[in-house]
Amino acid sequence: MSIDLGPVKAGVSRNNETYSYGNIMYDRRVVRGNTYAQHILPVSAQPDPVELQRQQESHRRALAKKRAKELLRARSPEPVEGRKHVDVQTELYLEELSDRIEEKDMECQTDAFLDRPPTPLFIPAKTGADVATQILEGELFDFDLEVKPMLEVLIGKTIEQALLEVMEEEELATLREQQCAFEELRNAELAEVQRLEEQERRHREEKERRMKQQREMLLKEKETAEKVAARAFAQQYLADLVPSVFSSLKENGYFYDSVERDVETVFMPWLMEEVEKNLQKNNLGRTMLDLLIREVVEKHIDDFSKMESQDKAPLDIAPQASDLLQCPLKPFPRSKNNPTVKNDSH
């Protein structure tokens, strides 16, 4: 049996035909050892979870790419009106398709299930002849001889580790020295930069201050010149205007005598108010007097009329009383102090 697996050796036959020979023992798929024992992979041979996850991710991405390509692949156009697409077999060997599946009833009788007997352990057949030998103590293992390589390795590793630690300490010390030197240089440069920046700042502030002073001085000079020019123009313009303004203000009553204005604004209103009060009192007295006179006259008329009715004799006093009632009363003479007040009493 020739299997094309593993290393291949080529041979030439009598008919000049080349054959390929292979050894099945070189195939990695062939299990070595006992085929009945359970094969447990060592820890190093067990799959890594991270690697499995990475493989699953790659497989998932490949499937996604495949689906995307299938979606982007040009498909058959839609059928024209009156036609439709029909699935057609394109395999090399055609298969007969039918709507109704052929069915056939078959019968089979099986034996009763029995418990499977335990599998006997595989014991390979004994081959060869038994031979015995005597091994004395110290023949196979000499401690002094066997321990020498281990001691050499331990001592070598210890010395190497010590040398590495010493070199690391020296390197760290060198790095610290370089770092200190670099920090000193950087601090010096930083101080110099700060000094230059401070100097530049002072120069800039001094320049701005002087420019501000110069602008303020120019502004003050300009304002002073404008004020002087405005004052001169105002004096020239108001030279003839001031007298006319004062005269017009005086004519309109803006310039007045304080005593006269006090008399007009304070004394005269008070005087008019007092005069009005006196006139009201006089009018009230006259009205009361007129009422008293009327009541007295009416009382006399009533008395005369009663006496006339009792005596039934005509008297001359009744016509006189009636004439007295019909004649209007003479007004009181007007006051000499206020001739404008009128007497409305009768």
Domain that holds residue 183: 146-255
Domain count within the chain: 3
Which of the two residues, 12 and 145, has the higher pLDDT score? 145
Helix (H, G, I), strand (E, B) or coil at 9: strand
Domain stop point among 255, 283, 309: 255
pLDDT of residue 40: 57
pLDDT of residue 327: 47
pLDDT of residue 44: 55
Sign of the dihedral through C-alpha 164, 166, 168, 171: negative
* Pair 281, 236 in one domain: no
* Single-letter code of the amino acid located at 267: F
* Pair 153, 222 in one domain: yes
pLDDT of residue 211: 95
Phi, psi (rounded to 5 degrees) for 97:
-110, 135
pLDDT digits (tens, 9 = 90+) for 20-45: 556 777 777 777 777 666 555 555 55
pLDDT of residue 20: 56
**How many of the other CB atoms lie within 10 Å of CB of 22?**
16
Residue 118 falls inside a structural domain = no
Measured CA to CA, the distance from residue 280 to residue 284 in angstroms comes to: 6
The answer to whether 11 and 21 are in contact (CB under 8 A) is: yes
Which of the two residues, 97 and 303, has the higher pLDDT score? 303
Q: What is the pTM of this model?
A: 0.24
Measured CA to CA, the distance from residue 54 to residue 60 in angstroms comes to: 10
pLDDT digits (tens, 9 = 90+) for 140-166: 777 888 889 999 999 999 999 999 999
Residue 342 falls inside a structural domain = no
Residue 127, both tokens: 């081959």
* Pair 285, 248 in one domain: no
Mean pLDDT of all residues in the chain? 78
* Pair 278, 250 in one domain: no
